[in-house]
Homo-oligomer: A and B are copies of this chain.
């Protein structure tokens, strides 16, 4: 960010009055351009004892498997975004349940949130951003070919919680921070 999106003047990096952090400030029009983390919202689509995964047709991690997820858009809620991404990437209509995991990825300036979701029918198809979409039993999960550490961690938590009978009751959101060293 070099130029003011409002007036095209060159931006200054400085700490504004009444602030404690450096911001992109426009000395010409007085605007301050804050930058904040973005939310990636997705689902864990469950059909019976299987989970739906997508193989990515786009970078980063082309060819690797992921839960359906993507950037939250203006004007939608986190759960609507999760349902929308599941429909767009996996062609699956899901009933969205409770928020299951929230993973902070500070080095990527992102927060990843995954909702439990159920599929009434085993109907799905690869969207434009997917090479293929498939249902997996736990023992079939391609652990070595997953796209992102937040997907791997969410699936690990999910299968452990399912085995422990946690998912049918109340539970705290599973949450932790992901480190740069966890990149896969």
- Chain A residues with CB under 8 Å of chain B are 1-8, 11, 18, 20-21, 33-39, 71-79, 88, 98-99, 102, 104, 106-107, 109, 111, 128, 169-173, 175, 177
- Main SS at interface, chain A: loop
Contact residues in B for A74 (Cβ distance below 8 Å): 35-37, 106, 109
How many angstroms between the C-alpha atoms of A33 and B71 in the bound complex?
Answer: 13
B104 touches A77 (CB 8 A): yes
How many angstroms between the C-alpha atoms of A26 and B176 in the bound complex?
Answer: 37
Given known pairs A3-B6, A5-B2, the reply for A99 and B34 (CB within 8 Å) is no
A99 touches B172 (CB 8 A): yes
Contact residues in B for A33 (Cβ distance below 8 Å): 5
A76 touches B106 (CB 8 A): yes
